[in-house]
Chains A and B, each alone.
Chain A
């Protein structure tokens, strides 16, 4: 299994509070991704990183920010959580952007509930 951990694994928070999710990898992969998974929508890309301090938006980036100060860590922040951000969040990593090393490997997920 790829060395990817996510913390926390579960979190319950209140509307309007800031929340930070952490993804940590031990594979030294260049690319890291944050997805959310919701019933009926499948996996949707929030933000991704193509190197330290290099990030870009995905298809559902509104309300989220990210930071990557080290190769191994990719943080996802909800500045002011809303109920619509209740979801399961997955981090993924890949060694490269083009085949054959572009396979993405996923972490175990963080279940976030915003009340």
Chain B
């Protein structure tokens, strides 16, 4: 199956610092999504990207769809304690199935972010 390499696996930072994480793939994706998961809860969508080169912000979060379509980056500026959690990237490689064009996401294994107050 498709592989997404997400790095770093974990980060331990001080409150106020900026954070960067990324995902790379050997395949070309049509969509990149970034999620955050808090303990005991489901992933929550942060940012969706649909075009190569696209740069999208959501508050202190900024994500980019790589120009090669094989990577994506998420930056968090001025981190705060509530940013703690696991961040996942997910890519869509549109494929044909019994339902016609269908949508399957491939997930990275996550980046665990810890913020020290």
Contact = CB atoms under 8 A, between A and B. Distances in A.
Nearest to B1: A59
A53 to B, nearest CB: 11
Interface residues of A, number: 30
Interface size on B, as a range, is 20 to 34
A34 interface: no
Contact of B99 (A54, A58, A104): A54
A42 B97 contact: no
A43 B43 contact: yes
A58 B103 CA distance: 11
Nearest to B42: A106
B42 A102 contact: no
A42 B88 contact: yes
Contacts of B103: 31, 94, 96-98, 102, 104
13 contacts: A43-B88, A48-B102, A56-B98, A90-B42, A94-B103, A97-B100, A97-B101, A99-B30, A100-B48, A103-B48, A106-B42, A107-B42, A109-B41
Interface of B: 1, 30-31, 33, 35, 40-45, 48, 50, 88, 90, 92, 94, 97-105, 107-110
Interface of A: 4, 31, 40-45, 48, 50-51, 54, 56, 58-59, 90, 94, 96-100, 102-109
